[in-house]
């Protein structure tokens, strides 16, 4: 199988957090931003991609997502801050 991405969406810095996994980060981030998929991210308006992590194998991405989902909230916040201290929306970086 091809690789995958673990990603985190939010509505604002230190706001509501969603951790997900996908094989196509550009498509999935677009779906969240446009509210194309019903569910948690649409309900809470989570449109900002603030963390993404590439894995060579989708299985590794799935395992990592499961681990992060079980972390305390503050660990997730620290993970975001470690690579994106400004909580910038990384979606624009996918367009280049």
Whole-structure pTM value:
0.94
CA distance 89 to 72: 22
Question: Could you read off the pLDDT tens digit of each residue along the chain, which spans 96 residues?
Answer: 589 999 999 999 999 999 999 999 999 999 999 999 999 999 999 999 999 999 999 999 999 999 999 999 999 999 999 999 999 999 989 964
Structural domain containing residue 76? 4-95
Long-range contacts of 55-59 (CB under 8 A, 24+ apart): 55/3, 55/4, 55/5, 55/6, 56/3, 57/1, 57/3, 57/4, 58/1, 58/2, 58/3, 58/4, 58/21, 58/23, 59/1
The model's pLDDT over 27-54, given as tens digits with 9 standing for 90+, comes to 999 999 999 999 999 999 999 999 999 9
Q: What is the DSSP letter of 56?
A: S
What is the predicted pLDDT for the residue at 24?
96
Q: Write the CATH number for 14.
A: 3.40.1440.10
Total number of domains in the chain:
1
What is the predicted pLDDT for the residue at 2?
85
């Amino acid at each position: 199988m091809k690789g995958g991405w673990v990603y985190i969406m939010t509505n604002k810095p230190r706001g509501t957090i969603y951790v997900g996994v996908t094989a196509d980060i550009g498509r999935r981030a677009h779906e969240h931003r446009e509210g194309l998929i019903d569910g948690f991210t649409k309900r809470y308006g989570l449109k900002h991609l603030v963390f993404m992590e590439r894995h060579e194998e989708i299985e590794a991405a799935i395992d990592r997502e499961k681990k992060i989902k079980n972390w305390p909230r503050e660990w997730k916040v620290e993970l975001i801050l470690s690579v994106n201290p400004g909580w910038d929306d990384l979606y624009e970086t996918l367009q280049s």
